[in-house]
Amino acid sequence: MIKEYQITKYEIDVEKLVATLQQLNNRLGCIENRLNDLVPPDIKKTSDELMTRKEVAQHFKINIATVRNWSIQGILKKYGVGDRVYFKRSEVESLPKQLNE
């Protein structure tokens, strides 16, 4: 299928364009700061990678329901951002050692 595009020539004031781009950059900075404020402080302190429930289940080759049960039982500590649940990779990888002890 061939798509047709039309190019329209506009007179652009370069100074207005630069000012608009700067405003967008400032707004993006504000959004980034707000998103950073949503991350709990204990997650910010470490540069540890976070894993989803699905990734943890794939890591151990288990069902997602088992991961959920482990978090309810306190075997795995979950970290939430909004309605999403994450687990620290270092804690997930050290879990077999904890279960053997």
21-77 pLDDT per residue, tens: 899 999 988 888 888 777 766 655 555 789 999 999 999 999 999 999 999 999 999
Give the pLDDT confidence score for residue 22 in this predicted structure.
93
Give the pLDDT confidence score for residue 76 in this predicted structure.
92
Give the pLDDT confidence score for residue 97 in this predicted structure.
75
70 contact partners, CB below 8 Å, separation of at least 6: 76
d(CA 12, CA 35): 33
Which is more confidently placed, 55 or 4? 55
Q: Is 27 within 8 Å of 33 (Cβ atoms)?
A: no
Q: State mean pLDDT over 80-85.
A: 85
Give the pLDDT confidence score for residue 1 in this predicted structure.
65
